[in-house]
Structure 1
């Protein structure tokens, strides 16, 4: 396990800092990931670390930005230390989908596939159980 796990998970309230999935429903700890990857000159310190579910971490990989489909504009992905989640995303509790409210939110939802069928089905269950948002 990552030596920073306890501190990072506590700071994140044991939720994925990208999609807000609750860690409590998984049978393993979430991953500590580098917001700016080491391969892109990111640092290995707490300010550059985030708690991420496996789905978000795999899809994010070494990305720090993505292209908006409508405008072909490059936009950086959501940065959990610099951005407030509620400013960039909104949850539709009826559908279970996350909507990007800003270009940063839109590109993050798209590239991390936050509304994949599996993610939406799980989120709907978490909502019914009172675990999300």
Structure 2
């Protein structure tokens, strides 16, 4: 991936994970440029299919496009940073993120956003 494209993704995300909102400044690990729709599912290396993700979110998301809603057990699509507004599906209280929709709950659960170390890093 060319440096110019990486820079554009990072600037658009304001150096924050587009899933859990962790700031790159609050993490000792470098954030990843991830394919929202993975290459193995036909996703392209194009600006509209790339997101900045902290290592925790990216590694837990992997190639998944869906997961199980922990409240209903039904299959649900994951949050897509280019198609959905973060505030429509999540809310944050201190370092904890809650899903306010099935998509939000599924994404929080699958990406394990509320692991203790993640919550502690997100505290302001």
TM class, shorter-chain normalised?
A: over 0.9
Query: How much is the aligned-residue C-alpha RMSD, in angstroms?
Result: 1.4
Which residue of structure 2 lines up, in the alignment, with residue 97 of structure 1?
Answer: 96
Which residue in 2 is equivalent to 1:8?
9
What TM-score, normalized to structure 1?
Answer: 0.86
Give 5+ residue unaligned stretches, structure 2: none
After superposition, the Cα gap between the structure-2 partners of 1:2 and 1:112, relative to the gap in structure 1 and judged at 3 Å, is farther
1:39-73, Cα deviation, whole Å (9 max, x unpaired): 01111111000000011000000001101133221
Q: Alpha carbons of 1:56 and 1:109: their partners in 2 closer, same or farther (altered >3 Å)?
A: same
**CA distance in structure 1 between the partners assigned to 2:93 and 2:71 by the alignment:** 22
Secondary structure of the 2:70 match is coil
Measured in 2, the distance between the counterparts of 1:2 and 1:20 equals: 24
Provide structure 1 residue ranges, at least 5 long, that are not aligned to the other structure: 128-133
TM-score (norm 2): 0.92
Q: Which runs of 4+ in 1 moved over 6 A?
A: none
Q: Secondary structure at the match of 1:62?
A: coil
Residue correspondence of structure 1 range 6-85 to structure 2 within 5 A: 6-85=7-86
Partner of 1:98, secondary structure, is strand
Q: Describe the superposition over 1:93-120 as per-residue Cα deviations: whole angstroms up to 9, x where unpaired.
A: 2xx2100011110000000011111111
Matched residue count = 123
8 Å contact kept, 1:2–1:32: no
CA distance 1:120–1:28, change in 2 (3 Å): closer
Higher relative contact order (CA 8 A, sep 6+): 2
